[in-house]
Structure 1
């Protein structure tokens, strides 16, 4: 159902962990199109926001809430999102949109049935240099691409055991951000050819991955993901064109170099962009539920080789 583009949408947060506090709350407070009414979490109680132990309790106290952002771990996201959609509220899904493709597809169909907006959010697509990268690639015939996405799980996910549990995706949790950029900029389907999944002996999800892919047009794409990177974190994508041109997208899409020359270096503002997009979707009565990055992860798990890695100790 479309609304006025100037309407202030009352929104609630489901899940009040690190990502909600670091990104969602500041982005919502900086967007005049939303009013952050309340949040819910079994335990977390961040300052400055009314908080309830469950979504049901929050909605009972605040029936005026029109939209919900689901910021929980992916293993429980489907049930919560389906319940939210059933009440006729618009839903913003933190990435990934579900623990499985099947869950995500059910939500897409259910949102359409209920006539409400569903956003499968991929925040890295809103990094400053992604649109310029897409334009550069569109004008050339690519020779190859290489993703290097390495970060420290102990820094970004301290004490979060869910990330190595079934459905938590392990290093694919950050790696899917790179895959969301890849699928946005190549303008083509991406096919997984080989994946080595290094899984700690006490975990159920990989801590490192080497993956070989191609676009549907046959451009080779390699990805190296690592969850044990210390010191400088690496979030880079490199592209080489058949004419010799080279592109380097760094810091998750905030820095762009072309042929060795700096083109862009801007501060990260991904979540403000995401929420502006969400408001536009609600205003126009549309949804954005693209699951291409999740499909690549699913394919990697389907054909990937499991390699035992040392025990992970927090």
Structure 2
């Protein structure tokens, strides 16, 4: 199969740090277009990708006549539906950065549109490709889960400095990183979980939460409590930890899923492989002409907002 002619839309931190290196290392792709409103600041990227043409928006790219097979959308979720709809209508396969949209129904509309146009739609959850997620899932298959505890704490000033979209409606606030934890646990626990209670802390000058505490229960053959703590004001060492109790011991995933411990003993440590895994998966889906859109993590985040007791906290400033 010839390389997929791909356009990368949105050149923020996640695109520069993760998407571009993954694309550069994958021969299944030919990056032929870069799209950003601040494209004049991105001229240096053409050194690494000399075949890539620069555009200031997706409409300009689609009107250019440049032949593209697929687009990877890394712009904020509030604009992702409109961009994906235009790309699908233009005959492109589409890969969505997480979260796939700012709501559930807008992504469902994209699913139907992709089906109508015979295009591939891939809603990515990069944390599911952390190296210890699948080994942990295999270990859990023969166990009965009895408890789930998640602690996801990071510093918004480090990861999203001056990115105002995270505080605007649809930006998800602390659920932007927190949904990574939700994507992992919904992969590890095939019978799922549900929320019964939520408390969301909103800075007095912002429209999305900066911290959250979620409570719930395990579903299906599992039985036990669910506790999820999300914090976007963690200074110093960041922590992304999941602890699962079972009838045959306790498993922990730490460092976002790169380390695994069983009953406190470290079993495995591995380097980051999330975005190479995403692009390998997208290439496979394109070859098979098959979409992959799982909305379960987004539905859990939406449930938290529906259930959430709102608590106003101190104003947040960068």
Q: Answer yes or no: same fold by TM over 0.5.
A: yes
Cα shift readout 1:106-132 (whole Å, capped 9, x = no counterpart)? 011111111111000000000000001
Cα shift readout 1:213-248 (whole Å, capped 9, x = no counterpart)? 2222333211000000011000110011123x0111
Given that 2:62 and 2:90 are in contact with CA atoms closer than 8 Å, whether structure 1 keeps it comes out as: no
Residue 257 of structure 2 is matched in structure 1 by 253
Given that 2:203 and 2:209 are in contact with CA atoms closer than 8 Å, whether structure 1 keeps it comes out as: yes
Which structure 1 residue ranges, 4+ long, deviate > 6 Å from structure 2? none
Gaps of 5+ in 1: 1-5
* CA drift at 1:43: 1.1
Residue 171 of structure 1 is matched in structure 2 by 174
Given that 2:147 and 2:218 are in contact with CA atoms closer than 8 Å, whether structure 1 keeps it comes out as: no
Residue 133 of structure 2 is matched in structure 1 by 130
Residue 49 of structure 2 is matched in structure 1 by none
User: Of 45, 49, 53, which residue of structure 2 is paired with 1:48?
Assistant: 45
* CA drift at 1:290: 0.4
* CA drift at 1:62: 5.4
User: Of 7, 14, 29, which residue of structure 2 is paired with 1:12?
Assistant: 7
* CA drift at 1:307: 0.4
Residue 3 of structure 1 is matched in structure 2 by none
Hey, what's the Cα distance between the residues in 1 that align with 2:308 and 2:125?
24
Matched, 1:306 2:310: yes
User: Of 23, 28, 41, which residue of structure 2 is paired with 1:28?
Assistant: 23
User: Of 227, 230, 235, which residue of structure 2 is paired with 1:225?
Assistant: 230
Hey, what's the Cα distance between the residues in 1 that align with 2:287 and 2:131?
24
* CA drift at 1:138: 1.2
Please tell me the root mean square deviation across aligned C-alpha atoms, in Å: 1.1
* CA drift at 1:262: 1.5
Hey, what's the Cα distance between the residues in 1 that align with 2:45 and 2:312?
44
TM-score by length of 2: 0.95
User: Of 98, 103, 106, which residue of structure 1 is paired with 2:106?
Assistant: 103
Matched, 1:239 2:244: yes
Hey, what's the Cα distance between the residues in 2 that align with 1:89 and 1:141?
43
| Range with bigger deviation, 60-69 or 190-199 | 60-69
Gaps of 5+ in 2: 47-52
User: Of 162, 165, 175, which residue of structure 2 is paired with 1:162?
Assistant: 165
Residue 202 of structure 2 is matched in structure 1 by 199
Hey, what's the Cα distance between the residues in 2 that align with 1:234 and 1:248?
13
